[in-house]
Amino acid sequence: MTTSTQFVAKLQKDNEALFTASKMNVKAYFESKNNSMEELVEHFTGRMVNERMNMVEISRQVASMPADADPIELQNLSKQAHDEAVHFRMVKECIEKITGETLDVDAAIAAEAAKPQAKGADLLEAYEASNDEAALAVYQIVAEGRAAAVWAQMAESIEDEFIAKSYAKIAKDEGFHSTIGAMKLEAIATTPEVQAHVLDIVDGMRKDLYNVSCLNTVKAEGSDELVNEAYGW
């Protein structure tokens, strides 16, 4: 049987096509906007709301953990919830820097909720991650890993130094969140049953996240072909 370490390593390697395609889409999106910050405010608002959604969902996970939960896991998830709160604040500040006005967060959240586009954080509920520790770990490895790639690409694509520096910091944190998931999955994916369950989840989650990428940015030339070749969609 494949060891859990080998299993997780292969999952991470297989994620690369999704991450690369998502970065391609982000790069193409920013190029299409010609780095006009005003035109990107709506896009950044969606990112801000997604960070807040992650904060709320991970906080719920922490609050529901049993008394005998692994203290290191509890610490890591608590740090992730804190990171997401910091990211929410950082993106809000970036938006306010662009507009020169205080952002009405209530109105921004309501406007985002009315849009048809899904957000990555929606998948926490869709895959019942609050009741399925394997699903939460997969979300962290795939969604947070993709987030690290996307925020890094945004940092590279943005000319504004303050925003680029903020987004590079967020990218680094998202990479750590992906590592939390990898650590958890190595601990629990020790049987063929758990590994099969993870494989049932991961392909659908990758496809959902690629769709989120295409809806929220643009479909770059070659991105479809890249994920189709990697995953057979």
Nearest-angstrom CA–CA distance, 121 and 177:
13
Nearest-angstrom CA–CA distance, 213 and 201:
18
In this prediction, residues 128-138 reach a mean pLDDT of: 88
Nearest-angstrom CA–CA distance, 30 and 36:
8
Map out the domains of the chain with their CATH numbers: 4-231 (1.20.910.10)
The answer to whether the CB of 55 falls within 8 A of the CB of 81 is yes
In the numeric block, which tokens belong to residue 205?
């989650």
Quick one: pLDDT at residue 115?
77
Summarize pLDDT for 37-96 with one digit per residue, the tens.
888 898 999 999 999 999 999 999 899 999 999 999 999 999 999 999 999 999 999 999
Summarize pLDDT for 202-233 with one digit per residue, the tens.
999 999 999 999 998 999 999 999 999 999 99
pTM (predicted TM-score): 0.90
Maximum pairwise Cα distance, the chain: 58
The answer to whether the CB of 156 falls within 8 A of the CB of 172 is no
Nearest-angstrom CA–CA distance, 101 and 208:
34
Quick one: pLDDT at residue 116?
63
